Structure formats: C-alpha cells, structure tokens
Structure 1
Amino acid sequence: MDEGGVEREYRRRRKPPLVYFLLPGLLLMNAFIQTNRVSPDGDGGGSGYWWGPPAFALLMALTLARIALEQFRTHTRVTAAGITAQGPLRARTWAWSEVYDIRVERAPRGSGRTAPQWLTYLYDFEGRRFLLWQLNDWQVDDPYAEVAELCLAAAPLRSLTWERRPDVEERILRGVMRRRAGMWGAYGGIAVFFLMFVADIWRIVMGRPDHPFILLVCVPLASGVALAVVLDRYWSTRPPRPPARQP
C-alpha cells in the first residue's frame, strides 16, 4: 500500500481446498480409463456411447485447468489510475471515472469452508458487474472494511462522488434478475438431463432406437434456455431484492 492508501494488490494467500482438485482429478482419471476401454466400433464392451468418455475427459481437463488458473493467476491491482482485474485468461482495467461502485456481496453458494462467503464486485455506469478477483473473505480478513477504506482513499481521484443514481440502480437490479433466471435455467437443464438419461436408458432396455445427442444435449440445453427466458420475463415484473451485502 502506498502513502495515500490507494496502491494495493490482492492475490491468493490461502491455499484452495484439496477437494477442488481431487474430485475433478478422480473423474478425469476414470474418464481416461473408460476412453481406453471403449472404441468407436463398439470393441471393448462399448454400447454406442464411445464419444462419451473422451468428451467427459476433455471437460474435466478444462475444469482442472480453469481451477488452476483461477487460483494461481487471478488477482486485482488498484492504483491511482484505476483498477485492474486479472482473470484466468484476460485482464480488464477501469479508470476511476468509469467505476460506479464497489460492493461486497454474499456469494450465491458460498459455505465458508469450500468457497468464499463474500465476494467483491465492481459496477460500471451501465450497471454491469465484474468480479474483483481475490478480494474476498478468504484472502482478506474483513473485505467490507477493506472496500470501505479503498473507496474512501479513491474518492479524491474521482470526478464523481459515490452517490447512488436511480437509473444505474435500476440496471443493476435488471442484471440481478437475468443472473437469477440464468441460474435457475441451468438447474432446470441439469434436472432435464437426468430425466433424459433415464429415458434414454429405458429406450435401450426396451430395444427402441436411442438418440443420445438429442436427449442428452439438445433437450436439456433447450429446456434450460426456455426456463431462463420465461423466468426472466416473469421476474422483470417483480424486481427481486438487491443482492445481500456484508453487514
């Protein structure tokens, strides 16, 4: 931190839980084993789903790579010129004049043991939300006090005050509704996937033609998107509460 209290850098200081890497690693190992046992022509006991294990192995490998990048590459740097959030692959920088607010909010499913409970987001004047990496209750003792101090130190660097603007707040709430609808749409898609999996197994047992790509990919995706659109339109007439902030 510099003499004026603005220069800061937030990096990982707490090791991630072993389960972050252990479970995807075990699934990846199993997928590779199954890949070696199943061939496109059905040899080795294949049942026509030869593409399943390789696709799953690729998905798990990408998941592990993303977890590693999030843990060891991401950080947030604050200077007198603005804020830079380094994500897993790319960095994004905002000048102080582009920052509408910085807020500490409760994580959607943070448990405190396997994930942070409180995350910090930057909001621009379009109401868009961006995660400030590593500025959370895992890496900072009191993220709310840290953000309050940061906003106070940055106030002289801004041409605007930190006061609320109704038009921006309305756009922020609209974003809350979109994310909420998308989350429930994803849950719905996952539920439909398992239903279609059971239906596909039933068709195989009954000797009927199975359509794995349609049942296990197309139907869940279409169902999730449709549910998200319906919920988004429904909740647009009933604005939810603003995201919870740390007391």
Structure 2
Amino acid sequence: MDESGVEREYRKRRKLPQAYLLLVGVVMLNGLIQTGRLQLGHDSSLRIWTSGAVALLMVAALVRIVLEQYRAYTRVTAAGITVQGPVRSRTWAWHEVYDIRVQPSPRGSGRMAPQWLAYLYDMEGRRFRLPHLDDWQLDDPYAEVSALCLAAAPHRSLTWERRPHVEEGILRRAVGRKAWTWAAYGTLVVLFAMFLVDLWQIAFGRPEHPFLLFLWVPLASFGVLGAVLQRYWTARPPRSIAQQP
C-alpha cells in the first residue's frame, strides 16, 4: 500500500478450509463412481460419451478451483481496479466504477464457502466479483471496502452517491440471477425425477428414451422455470434482493 492508501493487492493468503477440500473430494469421487455405473439404455457408445463428458466437466471444475486460488487476484491503483480471473483479466478506470459492495455469498456461508463477498458494479449495473476480497482472506471485508472507497475518492471524477437508473439495472440483473439459479435447482429435481422414471421403465420392460428423459426434459424445464421466475420476480422482487445494500 502506498502513502495515499489506494494502492493495494488482494491475493490468497490463507489456505482453503479442510472441510471445503473434503467436500470437493467427496463430490468428485461420488461423481466418478456414479459415472462409471451410469446406464443409459443399451447404447454402449452413449454410455462412453456420457461418462467422458461428466469426467471432463469434473476435471474442468477442479482446474478452475485451483486457478481461482493461485492465479486470481484483485489489484487497486490510482488508475482503477484490475481483476485477474482464473483465465482472463479485466480493468476498470475509476470513472467506470459505480460502486463496490460487500454482499452475502449466494453459495452458502461458514466453513464451506465465504460468507461475504465483494463485488464491483459498473455504470450499467453489471456485477463483477473481486477475487480474494472476502471474509476467508480478510478479517473484516466491510471495513476494507469502506477504507478502499474512501482512499479512491480523490481519484474519481464522480461521487459514490446512488443513481436511480443504475440501481434499477442492478435490481433487474439481480432478479435474473436469482431466477436462473432457482431454475437450475428445479432442473436438478426434474433430473432426479427422470432418473426414477428411467428405473421404472427398466423394471417394467418399457421402451427407454434416455435422450428425452436426461436431456430434452431437463433443458425444457430449465428454460420454462427460468422465464417464469424472472417474469414473476421482476414484478415482485424478493425481499432478499430488494433489501440488499
């Protein structure tokens, strides 16, 4: 940090909790076991392609976790903020930054995930995660972000005041994220139901339709659920979104 207090960099400085690593290991091991046992009709080539795709997704998720921990960082200078993600980086000049906010993690809290995350909002209301600016790496992310905004004020041509049109964009995008997240949860329920249907077909010797049950039905459910929830919550925003700082 320089004398002005705005020059700073946030990187991983604490190890991941053992409970988090254990959970990731258990999930991936179970996924690999289930993939090996996966039965989709009598098409062996379909089983091979499905197993390979699932294994590839798991490897990609593991690589992303590693890169996010050891490659990602947030750098703040008098010119703006640079975010290095797992793969690419992006820089915002201070006049492009609308606000920096600490908000509850959408993935949970406690030992399995950070409870509070810092986000950068641009002038169009889009939200971007600031890596390692959270309560896993910092004792008090609220105090850190408050000090950061105060130190950055002299380098901005704008104040940190709220602007109604930007707040409207932030709310609209928050509704969209929540709608499609819950649509994904609903799709998992539908996928489990299709698994039960597939077992019933096998047990009673019915014709099997793996692509219909495990691909087209879940995809259609995801699209319908997401569209319906987004339309409903746009008219009546959930309290958890409407009351966010």
| TM-score, scaled relative to structure 2 | 0.90
Per-residue CA shift, 1:191-221, capped at 9, x if unaligned?
0000011111211222222121221122112
Distance, in Å, in 1 between the alignment partners of 2:66 and 2:215 is: 27
Following TM superposition, by how much is the alpha carbon of 1:165 offset from its aligned partner in structure 2, in angstroms? 0.4
Aligned alpha-carbon RMSD (Å): 2.3
Instruction: State percent identity of aligned pairs.
Output: 60
Q: In the alignment, residue 212 of structure 2 is paired with which amino acid?
A: I
Could you tell me which runs of 5 or more consecutive residues in structure 2 were left unpaired when the two chains were aligned: none
Q: Does 1:242 align with 2:242?
A: yes
Answer with 236-245 or 133-142: which moved more: 236-245
Following TM superposition, by how much is the alpha carbon of 1:131 offset from its aligned partner in structure 2, in angstroms? 0.3
Which residue of structure 2 aligns with residue 177 of structure 1?
175
Give the 3 Å change call, closer, same or farther, for CA 41–236 of structure 1 in structure 2.
closer
Per-residue CA shift, 1:38-81, capped at 9, x if unaligned?
9x987xxx696343322221121111111111111111000111
Per-residue CA shift, 1:131-159, capped at 9, x if unaligned?
00110001011000000000000001000
Give the 3 Å change call, closer, same or farther, for CA 237–182 of structure 1 in structure 2.
same
Q: In the alignment, residue 105 of structure 1 is paired with which amino acid?
A: Q
The aligned runs of 1:118-133 (5 Å cut-off) are 118-133=116-131
Following TM superposition, by how much is the alpha carbon of 1:175 offset from its aligned partner in structure 2, in angstroms? 0.9
Which residue of structure 1 aligns with residue 11 of structure 2?
11
Distance, in Å, in 2 between the alignment partners of 1:130 and 1:190 is: 26
Which residue of structure 2 aligns with residue 26 of structure 1?
29
Which residue of structure 1 aligns with residue 110 of structure 2?
112
The answer as to whether partners of 1:105 and 1:121 remain within 8 angstroms in 2 is yes
Give the 3 Å change call, closer, same or farther, for CA 199–150 of structure 1 in structure 2.
same
Which residue of structure 2 aligns with residue 195 of structure 1?
193
Where is the helix percentage greater, Structure 1 or Structure 2? 2
Which residue of structure 1 aligns with residue 205 of structure 2?
207
Q: In the alignment, residue 161 of structure 1 is paired with which amino acid?
A: T
Distance, in Å, in 2 between the alignment partners of 1:136 and 1:222 is: 36
Which residue of structure 2 aligns with residue 93 of structure 1?
91
Following TM superposition, by how much is the alpha carbon of 1:5 offset from its aligned partner in structure 2, in angstroms? 0.3
Alignment length (residue pairs): 239
Per-residue CA shift, 1:101-142, capped at 9, x if unaligned?
000001123222010000000001101000001100010110
Distance, in Å, in 1 between the alignment partners of 2:175 and 2:81 is: 26
